[in-house]
Amino acid sequence: MKSLFAVLILLLVIFVYFFDAATFRGFWITGDLGYSDLTDCYWQIKRFLSDSLKEGRLPLWCPDLLLGIPLLSEGEMGTFYPLNFFSFLLLPPYIAYNLTTLLTFLIAGLATYLFCREIGLNFAPSILASVVFTLSGYLITHVKHPSNIQTASLFPLLLYFGERFIKEQRLIFPILAGVVLSFQIFTGHPQVMVYTNLIFVLYFILRVLTSLSLKKKRKENIAIGIIYKASLLPIMVIIGLGLSACQLFPTMELLEQSGRKIGGAIHELDRFPFHYSELVRFILPYFYGDPYLANHKTPWDGLFWENTGYIGILPLILSCLAIARIKTNRYILVLTIILVLSLILSFGKYSPLFFLLKLPPLSSYRFPNRFLLIVGFSLAILSAFGLEEIGKRIKSRARHLLFFLIISIVFLDLFKFGSHHNPTISAKKWLKPPESVKFLKQNIGMDRVYSVGSVITRNNLYFTYGWKNSDVYLKHREVLSASTNLEHGLQSPGIYLTFFPIRPYIFEMRLAGIALDSASYTGEVSPDILRLLSLLNVKYLVSCFSLNLPIVEEIKLDWQLPSVKIYENRDVFPRAYVVGKSFFVQDPNTIINILSSDWFNPRKMVILEEQGPLGSEDIGFSDCKILKYKDDRVEISAKMTKPGYLVLTDSNYPGWKAYVDKKEAHIYYANCAFRAVFLEEGEHKVEFRYCPDSFKKGAAITIATIFLIVLAMLFLRLRKYNRRGTRAQRINLFLL
């Protein structure tokens, strides 16, 4: 009954706190530095997830970003996390987006409540801890990072199952902990997954050590007990990795293709740090300003949302009361150790333990200040112990009233702190297509579009308005910032995402060289960049900057920035074309230099990275036509008067297979990133299909792991029932 009451309280807290989003009237548009992680990244990929699932397919490949990327492999879409999968399958995208975020906060609160009850805290202190963690500064300021908070919300559940195993030593709890670990992997934020699991291991070790008593047991029994309890960790890891193999295998393949390495972010560790001076923000969260009002600034370039660990004034006082009794309670001891360690690590380059952050896997991630998640959680639990201690000294009736007042004050404090941080806008307005999109949809056909200078214009709005003025961001959608083309079904060589194949991104890095003057809002597209744009099938450019290209549409808006202009590239290449001659170059950067030079004629020749047939000098009237274009399948007819190459200006990537007249053919890496197949003289039907072996292998391991878990569960039930009652009683129990 108390658990149900806890659910109702948390539902009420979340509903009141996020009223506009909870009633589905508003859509979050939380701002950011540069591009918006929420509107330019997560909303886009979640929308793609929704569309894909509703069409009855997995979002394995997305052709709309960066010439095509394996979007499922990137992970942050959170495809296989059950909450995401079923919400985006069954509900309209924006409702699913709001709902999954709200339920993430509910999961965080309920998991915290369960953990508190398991470690012996009473109802009211447990409610306090769950409210404090649910509305903590870390989670609230990371609403724009759904993969982050979804992974974080599962951390208390790991601790809960670990605590149950320490006390009951039942195999079911390592299995359930493994399921939670797989969910954390599925949510798509490896940094938070690694941080929380490292802390979980530390918590588990400390709890095992503090649960043993040398006075009561012989040393050999203690050793056996430690070994048996330590079995939770390998079982949890094996199950977690096995269940999530369908995600891990494609992700590891993408990691290799992206050029990134595990432990390769050491050079990023000192960016946007958390300084000792910001400890004052545990008391005065807006001491250095508020990004909502565009006045946040620190001498060390700290980001507000990455450096916020505020939990409220009363919880901070209560946690100090709990720490004062560290010698009398082993949980307080363990949590204090975790609190201190996490706080020290969160200082990053200012930390005396900075050397630890340079070791894999910690060195794989920037923003060590995300250890503030653990700091906030530890303080939330310690505040519950502080409230419990106060409650012991007060009579029953007065105690209940005091608990109610304290929890209410804490809620009001946290509401005042963060309720404005994540503003919303009318969902109806946000979902309406921009005028620029309407023009492009009518004229673009199979060609691509590219946004120029959108990060500059976005930053101008951020530093002028913060994000209190939602209308300016609504109007800024006309610029089609990187990745925002995705929700409109348009294709672009640009991207705003965490990681992706390196080959097509080399083009994007060259395109970033368009010369722009942010003072006069003018720019120039040089001939070499224009050649690359043409080769990339970019017909239209969208920008607030005045460029040296013909304007075909201008959208005048009453706002701070100049009008949005749509420029036409009249030398654009078709999506698919044929050439006769090939030559061999291995280095991708050298290939890009050749492609942008004026002597290279891509209409007559193609650059391959491995030796292939030379083809013909002149292929006459050879031609090709795209018959069918789907995310994971492209069909093209080609008529060759002489042998040559069919080039498709989509990314080549492991898993793509080509079939010429129903016979498998070799795909060449063409012009650095494209796909090409060799065709003999005559008429041909060419088909490209995306069937990644990495996903197939991972899915097979996931299915096998599920099968083994079911067998283990059946075995545990049978063994349990075979130990008690008559045969008839055992059968009845099993059926129940």
- The predicted-structure confidence for 283-311, as pLDDT tens digits, reads as follows 999 999 999 999 999 998 899 999 999 99
Crossing angle, helix 155-168 and helix 190-211, to 10 degrees? 30
Q: Are residues 226 and 361 in the same domain?
A: yes
Is the separation of the CB atoms in 198 and 181 below 8 Å?
no
pLDDT value at 39 more than 90? yes
3-state secondary structure 246-259: HHHHHHHHHHHHHC
pLDDT value at 730 more than 50? no
Q: Are residues 245 and 333 in the same domain?
A: yes
- The boundaries of the domain holding residue 85 are 2-30+75-261+275-424
What's the rounded Cα separation, in Å, for the pair 545 and 599? 30
Q: Which of 390, 424, 458 is the last residue of a domain?
A: 424
Per-residue pLDDT, 263? 52
What's the rounded Cα separation, in Å, for the pair 638 and 646? 8
Question: Going by C-beta distance under 8 Å and a sequence separation of 6 or more, which residues neighbour residue 205?
Answer: none
Going through 378-487 in order, the beta strands assigned E by DSSP cover 424-426, 448-452
The pLDDT > 90 percentage for the chain reads 77
pLDDT band at 213 (very low <50, low <70, confident <90, very high): low
Query: What is the CA 196 to chain-centroid distance, rounded?
Result: 16
Could you count the other beta carbons within 10 Å of the beta carbon of residue 141?
26
* Mean pLDDT estimate for the chain: 92
Query: What is the CA 379 to chain-centroid distance, rounded?
Result: 26
Residue 518 within any structural domain of the chain: yes
pLDDT band at 245 (very low <50, low <70, confident <90, very high): very high
SS3 309: coil
Could you count the other beta carbons within 10 Å of the beta carbon of residue 659?
15
Domain count, the chain: 4
Tell me the mean pLDDT in the region 156-182: 95
Per-residue pLDDT, 736? 37
Angle at 298 between CA 293 and CA 302, to 5 degrees: 95
Q: Are residues 585 and 463 in the same domain?
A: no
Task: Give the predicted TM-score (pTM) of the model.
Answer: 0.94
Residue 38 within any structural domain of the chain: no
Q: Are residues 586 and 722 in the same domain?
A: no
Q: Are residues 234 and 151 in the same domain?
A: yes
pLDDT value at 328 more than 80? yes
What's the rounded Cα separation, in Å, for the pair 234 and 506? 41
604 residue type, one letter: K
Task: Please state which of the ranges 103-107, 141-145, 298-302, 467-471 shows the lowest mean pLDDT.
Answer: 467-471
Per-residue pLDDT, 318? 98
SS3 515: strand
Q: Are residues 315 and 398 in the same domain?
A: yes
pLDDT, greater one: 483 or 561: 483
Per-residue pLDDT, 701? 98
Per-residue pLDDT, 733? 40
Question: Going by C-beta distance under 8 Å and a sequence separation of 6 or more, which residues neighbour residue 432?
Answer: none
pLDDT value at 330 more than 90? yes
What's the rounded Cα separation, in Å, for the pair 504 and 493? 8
Q: Which of 512, 537, 568 is the last residue of a domain?
A: 568
Q: Are residues 640 and 519 in the same domain?
A: no
Question: Going by C-beta distance under 8 Å and a sequence separation of 6 or more, which residues neighbour residue 480?
Answer: 434, 436, 437, 449, 451, 454, 488, 490, 492, 542
Per-residue pLDDT, 529? 95
Q: What is the DSSP string of 430-445?
A: HHSPPHHHHHHHHH-T
Residue 429 within any structural domain of the chain: no
pLDDT band at 221 (very low <50, low <70, confident <90, very high): low
SS3 591: helix
Q: What are the tokens at 720?
A: 């349990």
Tell me the mean pLDDT in the region 595-621: 89
Q: Are residues 559 and 583 in the same domain?
A: no
| Strand-pair partners of 640 | 682
Q: Are residues 621 and 702 in the same domain?
A: no
Per-residue pLDDT, 393? 85
The pLDDT > 70 percentage for the chain reads 94
pLDDT digit string, tens, across residues 675-722: 999 999 999 999 999 999 999 999 999 999 999 999 988 887 887 777
Sheet with strand 682-690: strands edge to edge: 623-630, 633-640, 682-690, 656-660, 663-665
pLDDT value at 224 more than 70? no
Q: Within the chain, what is the greatest distance between any pair of CA atoms?
A: 97
Is the separation of the CB atoms in 512 and 451 below 8 Å?
no
pLDDT digit string, tens, across residues 363-418: 889 899 999 999 999 999 999 999 999 998 887 778 889 999 999 999 999 999 99
pLDDT value at 734 more than 50? no
Q: Are residues 498 and 604 in the same domain?
A: no
Residue of 441, 455, 451, 476 lying closest to 561 (CA atoms) = 476
Residue of 591, 453, 615 lying closest to 535 (CA atoms) = 591
pLDDT digit string, tens, across residues 3-24: 899 999 999 999 999 999 999 9
Residue 67 within any structural domain of the chain: no
Per-residue pLDDT, 467? 85
CATH number at residue 647: 2.60.40
Sign of the CA dihedral with 451 first, then 456, 457, and 461 last? positive
Exposed / middle / buried, residue 300 (Cβ in 10 Å: 0-12, 13-18, 19+): middle
Residue 433 within any structural domain of the chain: no
Q: Are residues 99 and 195 in the same domain?
A: yes
| Strand-pair partners of 670 | 608, 674
pLDDT digit string, tens, across residues 446-459: 999 999 999 999 88
Q: If you ran DSSP here, which 8-state letter would residue 573 be given?
A: P
pLDDT value at 667 more than 50? yes
What's the rounded Cα separation, in Å, for the pair 160 and 174? 11
Q: What are the tokens at 643?
A: 């042998």
Q: Are residues 581 and 499 in the same domain?
A: no
Per-residue pLDDT, 225? 66
Residue 43 within any structural domain of the chain: no
Sheet with strand 448-452: strands edge to edge: 448-452, 538-543, 564-568, 551-555
pLDDT value at 220 more than 60? no
pLDDT digit string, tens, across residues 522-576: 999 999 999 999 999 999 999 999 999 999 888 886 667 789 999 999 999 999 9
Residue 269 within any structural domain of the chain: no
pLDDT value at 616 more than 90? no
Residue 49 within any structural domain of the chain: no
SS3 27: strand
Q: Which of 376, 391, 424 is the last residue of a domain?
A: 424
Per-residue pLDDT, 559? 67
